[in-house]
Amino acid sequence: MKKISLLYVLLLFGFFILTVSISYGGDEDYDIMAVLDRHYQAISGRDFKAAYALRSNRWRSNHSYGWFYDNWESNYTIELTDRHVISNDGYEAVVKVRIYSEDYNSKGSLHRAYYRGKVYMIYEKGKWKIDDIQVKEE
């Protein structure tokens, strides 16, 4: 009888651990967030090559580094103010984000705005990469 109850307790404990790890996200969700954090920190720090390298191969095949640089060179600062994984199947993930950005416009004035949307991530060659970002100004 003791063997059965001990086995039962161990199974319940294992189920509990599995449930908690799924509920709070696991290492994969942490890795996804870390990639997003590094991407926007690199842009804010004007390390555009590091930010570009965090994009997927598919995305980079459609966007040159020159295009990426031109798109971000007018940025003064950018920060992820909120982000959380809303889906993750281990190969593709979607992250809901809120971003604060300050950018110089063509007249040299600083435009400050918040943006909301989604970031689409893909797992390629053992690493999470940003495949697409779709945000709109609030």
Q: Which domains does the chain have, with CATH numbers?
A: 25-137 (3.10.450.100)
Q: Using CA atoms of 37, 43, 44, 45 in order, give the dihedral in degrees to the nearest 10.
A: 100
> Rounded CA gap, 33 and 89, in Å?
15
Count other C-beta atoms under 10 Å from residue 93's C-beta: 22
In this prediction, residue 9 has a pLDDT band, given cuts at 50, 70 and 90, of low
pTM for the full model? 0.77
| pLDDT per residue as tens digits for the range 33-82 | 999 999 999 999 999 999 999 999 999 999 999 999 999 999 999 999 99
Q: What is the mean pLDDT of the chain?
A: 87
Asked whether 136 and 113 are in contact (CB, 8 A), the reply is no
